[in-house]
């Protein structure tokens, strides 16, 4: 017996990197205890990137492969593309009828994002962007999900989905919607190889699909203690990106490496080599799973089709109850 329902989603905006692994590993685990649904939310991607959609289909495919490579199992959890389950859009529309605009305007990320993206010359003061958290609430509530594993940046959105559930239940005198709970994954703060925030747009990320060669190239780029010129100079691990990574990914060797770095007994080249090996061993099984799916385009197609079909079935049940509650289920 499952403990409840989980929904989570990601916008298909490009390759995922190893900083995303803690979130995804959490999803993989949740599959055992919960009935999970995982959506590649392409409509959400349109809210900020409606002007350039040329990479959308590639990004969707890449995200699907990334997800499968970490071990999301389509036999346990439907994996689907949001735009293929139109029920989400009807629920979004019906929610929009009963929601005060002020609730949406006061979501903290709303004005902030308009400002941030405005600085980059992007005008996203659109109707669709205002409704971003309404669409997100529809994604969650249409499966009557109890748990939503997300990052901290999404907490205000989950709070809104709870308010929507309460308002709906109150207005239409029903207990149709449970109030979803956010579940935060323990996220180790992982810097990019240059010390800035890890992001594919800075090209300082290590993609989860990286080859052995790419891994070692990225590790070469990592910034070490600048005062260390010769291998025999004592190093300062506290200011070294490689050490930050050894700490997270190489627990069994980190103490020894640390001592030898401080005493000048291991050089940066050797230290980087050991990190590259550990990262490569970590990503190897993911690469193997990825190539299994890459070689089977029909299987990929089936996974996403079947996922949408299963999602539609569940979503359709909720939607019919919503229509009935709001008296928009036709009786003549
Ligand atoms: N807004 C989420 C993000 O940017 C993506 C998302 C859309 C989502 N719908 C969702 C996450 C529903 C969880 C549940 O990360």
Rounded to an integer, the average pLDDT of 22-29 is 95
Whole-angstrom distance, CA of residue 160 vs CA of residue 93: 16
Position 228 confidence tier, pLDDT thresholds 50, 70, 90: very high
Minimum CA distance residue for ligand 1 atom 6:
9
- Give pLDDT tens digits for 201-227: 899 999 999 999 999 999 999 999 999
CATH hierarchy code of domain 200-290: 1.10.240.10
Average pLDDT, the chain: 96
pLDDT band at 10 (very low <50, low <70, confident <90, very high): very high
pLDDT the model gives residue 1: 83
CATH number for the domain whose boundaries are 5-190+296-326:
3.40.50.620
- pLDDT higher than threshold 90 for residue 298: yes
Cα angle 152, 102, 137; round to 5: 45
pTM (two decimals) = 0.96
Burial class from Cβ neighbours inside 10 Å (0-12, 13-18, 19+) for residue 331 reads: exposed
Per-residue pLDDT, 225: 94
> pLDDT category, 187, cuts 50, 70, 90?
confident
- Atom 2 in ligand 1: residue holding the nearest Cα: 10
The H or E element that residue 213 is part of is: helix 212-220
| All structural domains of the chain with their residue ranges | 5-190+296-326, 200-290
Over residues 172-180, mean pLDDT: 98
Distance (Å) from CA 327 to ligand 1 centroid: 29
pLDDT greater than 90 at residue 186? no
| Candidate from 154, 160, 164, 182 with most ligand 1 atoms within 8 A of CB, to mutate | 154
Which tokens go with 328?
Answer: 């928009």
């Amino acid at each position: 017996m499952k403990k409840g329902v989980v929904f989570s989603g990601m916008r298909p905006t490009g390759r995922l990197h190893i900083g995303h692994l803690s979130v995804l590993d959490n999803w993989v685990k949740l599959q055992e205890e919960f009935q999970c649904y995982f959506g590649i939310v392409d409509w959400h991607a349109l809210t900020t990137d409606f002007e350039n959609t040329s990479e959308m289909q590639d990004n969707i495919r890449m995200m699907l492969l990334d997800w499968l490579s970490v071990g999301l199992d389509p036999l346990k959890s439907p994996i689907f593309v949001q735009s293929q389950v139109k029920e989400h859009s009807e629920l979004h529309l019906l929610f929009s009828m009963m929601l005060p605009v002020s609730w949406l305007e006061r979501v903290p990320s709303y004005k902030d994002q308009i400002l941030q993206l405005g600085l980059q010359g992007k005008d996203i003061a659109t109707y669709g962007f205002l409704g971003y958290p309404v669409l997100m609430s529809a994604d969650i509530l249409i499966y009557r999900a109890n748990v939503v594993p997300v990052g901290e940046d999404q907490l205000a959105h989950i709070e809104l989905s709870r308010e929507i559930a309460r308002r709906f239940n109150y207005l239409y005198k029903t207990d149709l919607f449970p109030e979803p709970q956010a579940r935060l994954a323990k996220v180790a703060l992982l810097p990019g190889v240059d010390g800035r925030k890890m992001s594919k747009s800075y090209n300082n990320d290590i993609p989860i699909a990286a080859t052995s060669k790419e891994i070692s190239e990225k590790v070469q780029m990592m910034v070490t203690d600048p005062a260390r010129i010769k291998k025999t100079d004592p190093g300062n691990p506290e200011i070294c990106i490689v050490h930050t990574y050894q700490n997270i990914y190489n627990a069994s060797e980190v103490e020894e490496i640390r001592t030898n770095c401080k005493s000048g007994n291991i050089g940066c080249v050797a230290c980087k080599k050991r990190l590259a090996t550990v990262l490569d061993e970590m990503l190897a099984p993911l690469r193997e799973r990825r190539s299994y799916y890459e070689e089977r385009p029909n299987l990929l197609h089936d996974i996403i089709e079947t996922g949408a079909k299963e999602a539609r079935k569940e979503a359709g049940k909720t939607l019919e109850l919503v229509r009935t509650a709001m008296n928009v289920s036709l009786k003549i």
